[in-house]
Structure 1
Amino acid sequence: MSRRLATVLSVLAVLLAGCTPASAAPARAAVVGTVTLVDNGPAANRITLVLIGDGYTAGDLPRFRAQAAATWRALSSVEPFRTYAPFFDVRRVDLVSPESGLGPDSPLGMHFGCGGTPRLLCADEAAVSHYVGPAVGPEYVIALADSTAYGGAGGSGVTTLSAGAKDAGSIIQHEMGHTVGGLGDEYDAAPGGQSDFPNLSTQDASAMTSAHAKWWRWLGAADPSGGVVGAYRSANGLYRPTQNSIMRRLGGVYNLPCREAVIEALYRRLNSIDAAAPAPRAGPVAPGRTLTVTPLPLAGGRRLTVRWTVGGRPAPSAALRDDGLGLDTGALGLGPHCRAFVRATVVDRTDWVRDERFRQARMRASAVWLVGSF
């Protein structure tokens, strides 16, 4: 071989080596789509439930999508989430992981054994926030793990669920009790001394009644879980409202104190009025128009109670319309050149809330207009 040919071959070998990587670049996680599963209204006055997965490859996404849909079905099938399902919008984030199942490369960092508890499933909340993106309004995030092991977690941060577990539907009902209602575990093995929850107390029924504490308003009420609301002592020394509930055993129902806590939590984040027209307090409204108010909807087409008043008195029935209040000054009982304030008050009168002070403060809202002839 001539020196010239050897030189050419050497250069060619170097070029070829430079064009052939020693190893393939590692796969990276990526969001490949965001889908609205349920649209019940404006994000500013709905709670958006975001479902995102960890450990699902592109080929696994059909399974993730089915599990995400099943998660919402399970949550919205139990009261009070069933009745208040229209308070939620549901969004799914399709995140592709480099490998199936949980592992060191799982983009959300989900893992079992958090805090030394084998069934406690945790996630890297900063990573979850990164892939979910900024919230538009009130929001809860559920991170689904591609796992069949039993596990999950709920509370103030990201709610987690082992989406392939046999009891996944019942697990998410329990965990969202923690997240939404701020509820504590009612089972005997739960840690003692943790009574800072609406459904746990260090006091018996008599002490709660005397102090007007915890679920004292519900004591003696027939409960949908069976039996009567009372103060039942667990092995950990704390009292719970009922013998059984979702917060004690999977597959049950929320007892009445727990239902009240969940509903109150929703109203701390939402306004009972979705919209009002024309814009309240924007200026005097002349006769001939119709005032309308749109309450938050409930399941099954049910509506919150709407009460109309004119000058502080109940509006005449002749002025009431199916869609609001007609501004016919004669029907309103207003004389020439008379003005009055018209108020529409929307209130949730559900029997599942007995705290009337809370109802008046957070479960009602009003729209006010100045009307009359000018």
Structure 2
Amino acid sequence: MHPTIRRTLCGAVTAACAAAALLTAGPGAAAATAAEGPPPAPATARVKVEIPGPEHGTDAGSGYTRVPLSGQAKSAARLSEAERAADGDVTKMIDNGSTADRLDVVVIGDGYTAAELDRFHADARQKWAEVAAVEPYTTYQNLFNVWTVDAVSNDSGVTGDPDRGAVRDTALGSYFWCEDIERLLCVDQPKVDAYVAKAPAADLVIVLANSAKYGGAGYNEPSATLGYEGISTASAGNAKSGQVAIHETGHSLGKLADEYFYPGVPDYEKYTGPEPAESNSSTLTADRMARERTKWYRWLGEESPDGGVVGAYEGGGYYVTGLYRPTDNSIMRVLGKPFSLPGTEAMIAGFARHATFVTPLTPTDRTLRPWHTAKASVPRLADAYGRQPEVRWYLDGRELKRFRGRTEVRVAELWLLDLRTHKLTVTAEDRTTAVRDPLIARTLRTSAAWSVRL
């Protein structure tokens, strides 16, 4: 999700940042250097992942490292005939419409035996409830479909839990102690993709490990073959791991930068590079941002749900100085916090890339006559103040105000007076105050149209 690969952390660090240095040392650092040369052979291919922050710390993450694409690349033992029959089953856990018009989340479990699949489904419902409890997911939850894919493992639990010596034979090869970092929970990505491919569509993937141990990872590089924005791994039985997954969607869906930083780490004391592409990171002070009318200038001075007011707080993107973030402690810096106002806007923009506000229920590929009815589906918002998308109807571009708010109109109600073919259009628009950027606001308006005549 980031336009450049940040340099590997190196050198001595202070006690408070000792964990951060560990994350990017050793094999991960070597892989980052190798990535600048010829592409590695498939057997040694590595991918960039975000490391979650320490369980008892405040940082949401601990930077990035590169891990083996295929994890520990161990071959799974054979499944029995009964286990094979259950393996790969797909269930639409939450159904809010067609995959073409909704953001499709695929949840896959690892370390669940055939006898434990009911527990996986319960864990998936619980973990999605944790996500849906955080704004703006709460308001826009009806824009999502959630699919579960059953992955049957031979062993219960995952490798590295409860300790480094524990080895489990699982469908997705999940393991703690990835790159020698206990809380980094990695997977065999090709195996994950094989299960993702079984779902009808995938915009976002969550892998739930059958574990209560704290950990997770953010695979935030979009899939060129399956189309999903990223993979978040999390422990099903650990509440803080759920917060890690939500933070990772800030990268994959919201295209947001990390807002934490590393005091005392060489090369990360001051940022001197170009203006970052991410909407929540800038080299500009609040005054200069306002003058240049860029980044989050529309939100400056507003009270933010994560506490305090929107401004330009120095420190972010791993650097202590030279980069500014919108608020002091959003979820992009501290787990358990809400998204900031600019972060919320970015997440809504991410939702709108995959979901629409109008789905035609009446086919649009034929001409409707007076005995037909044009029908459309408009998702309801779970807005605390009752706000809903504004629905309007137009005939040849002129609004039919008497039909405002309706989701179906009979052609006979149009009072057509000639034999010409006319165009009937319905639009639904979310006019939320959580979006101030007009470019994003335009993505919150969807239309469907039919040809109609006497």
For the aligned pair, the TM-score class normalised by the smaller chain equals 0.7 to 0.9
Residues 1:159 and 2:232 aligned together = yes
In the alignment, the residues of structure 2 paired with residue 49 and residue 316 of structure 1 have an alpha-carbon distance, to the nearest angstrom, of 37
Closer, same or farther: CA 202–122 of 1 in aligned 2, 3 Å: farther
Equivalent of 1:47 in 99, 103, 123: 103
For 1:348, the equivalent position in structure 2 comes to 430
In the alignment, the residues of structure 2 paired with residue 88 and residue 363 of structure 1 have an alpha-carbon distance, to the nearest angstrom, of 15
Answer yes or no: is the 8 Å Cα contact 2:391–2:407 preserved in 1: no
For 1:106, the equivalent position in structure 2 comes to 170
Closer, same or farther: CA 280–97 of 1 in aligned 2, 3 Å: closer
Closer, same or farther: CA 100–312 of 1 in aligned 2, 3 Å: closer
SS across alignment from 1:210: helix
Residues 1:83 and 2:168 aligned together = no
Closer, same or farther: CA 372–131 of 1 in aligned 2, 3 Å: closer
Name the TM-score, length of structure 1 as normaliser: 0.80
Q: Displacement, 1:138?
A: 4.0
Structure 1 unmatched ranges of 5 or more: 1-24
Q: Displacement, 1:280?
A: 3.5
Answer yes or no: is the 8 Å Cα contact 1:138–1:269 preserved in 2: no
Please show how residues 299-318 of structure 1 align to structure 2 within 5 Å.
299=382, 303-317=388-402
Structure 2 unmatched ranges of 5 or more: 1-75, 160-166, 222-229
In the alignment, the residues of structure 1 paired with residue 157 and residue 134 of structure 2 have an alpha-carbon distance, to the nearest angstrom, of 29
Residues 1:181 and 2:254 aligned together = yes
RMSD: 3.0
Equivalent of 1:256 in 317, 335, 341: 341
For 1:16, the equivalent position in structure 2 comes to none
Name the TM-score, length of structure 2 as normaliser: 0.67
Residues 1:217 and 2:298 aligned together = yes
Q: Displacement, 1:264?
A: 0.7
Answer yes or no: is the 8 Å Cα contact 2:107–2:206 preserved in 1: yes
For 1:202, the equivalent position in structure 2 comes to 283
SS across alignment from 1:65: helix
Please show how residues 187-336 of structure 1 align to structure 2 within 5 Å.
187-189=260-262, 195-234=276-315, 236-237=320-321, 238-277=323-362, 279-280=363-364, 282-283=366-367, 285-287=368-370, 289-299=372-382, 303-317=388-402, 322-328=406-412, 332=415, 335-336=417-418
For 2:204, the equivalent position in structure 1 comes to 140
Answer yes or no: is the 8 Å Cα contact 2:332–2:339 preserved in 1: yes
1:307-335 per-position Cα deviation (integer Å, ceiling 9, x unaligned) = 22233332152x66844334347x65x54
Number of equivalences: 343
- Over alpha carbons, which structure has the higher Rg? 1
SS across alignment from 1:250: coil
In the alignment, the residues of structure 2 paired with residue 168 and residue 250 of structure 1 have an alpha-carbon distance, to the nearest angstrom, of 9
Answer yes or no: is the 8 Å Cα contact 1:186–1:248 preserved in 2: yes
Residues 1:66 and 2:139 aligned together = no
Q: Displacement, 1:73?
A: 0.6
Q: Displacement, 1:304?
A: 1.8
Q: Displacement, 1:351?
A: 1.3
In the alignment, the residues of structure 1 paired with residue 312 and residue 393 of structure 2 have an alpha-carbon distance, to the nearest angstrom, of 41
In the alignment, the residues of structure 1 paired with residue 203 and residue 215 of structure 2 have an alpha-carbon distance, to the nearest angstrom, of 22
The AA in structure 2 aligned to 1:73 is: A
For 1:5, the equivalent position in structure 2 comes to none
Q: Displacement, 1:302?
A: 6.1
Answer yes or no: is the 8 Å Cα contact 2:425–2:448 preserved in 1: yes
SS across alignment from 1:174: helix
1:116-152 per-position Cα deviation (integer Å, ceiling 9, x unaligned) = 6543322111011113334423432111122333211
SS across alignment from 1:43: coil
**Which protein has the bigger helix share?**
1
Answer yes or no: is the 8 Å Cα contact 2:149–2:199 preserved in 1: no
